[in-house]
Copies of this chain bind each other. A is one copy, B any other.
C-alpha cells in the first residue's frame, strides 16, 4: 500500500537562524529546520529558494530524498550556492517533483534555556 501524502510546492514565511548557541552540538546548536517527509515510493528531487527582505532570492539549493525517507534539513547547513547569514530574516519556497510534507521547526539556544517553535508549512495547490 502506498502511503503517499503531500504537495509539490510549500512555503515557510518565517525564517531566522539565531546567532549563537548554548549546550552541546549538534542537538543544542541553534537551528532552523525544514522537516521534509517523502512517503512516496519514488525519489524526491527538492529545490529550495530563499527570499530576503532587501535582496534577490538565493538558490536553488538542491538535494534528493529517497523513497519512504524523511530529511530534517537544517538551513544552517546549506552551503551551495551560498550560505544563509545568521540573525537575518528570510522566507523559503520548497519545490519537489513528488508529493512531500513540510514542517518548520526552530530551536533557539541563544540563551541557556532553549526555546522551540514549530508549524506545518503552507501547502501550495499541487
A interface residue numbers (CB < 8 A to B): 3, 5-6, 9-16, 19, 23, 27, 33, 35-37, 39, 49, 51-54, 56-57, 68-72, 87, 89-91, 93, 95, 100-106, 108, 110-124
Contacts and interface: CB of A to CB of B under 8 A. Distances in A.
Oligomer copy total:
4
A27 B87 contact: yes
Contacts of A113: 111-115
A76 to B, nearest CB: 15
A93 B5 contact: yes
B89 A70 contact: yes
A2 to B, nearest CB: 10
A122 B123 contact: yes
Given A70-B89, A118-B119, A12 B52 contact: no
A13 B27 contact: no
10 contacts: A5-B11, A11-B39, A12-B103, A13-B36, A13-B103, A15-B35, A37-B91, A101-B122, A103-B104, A118-B119
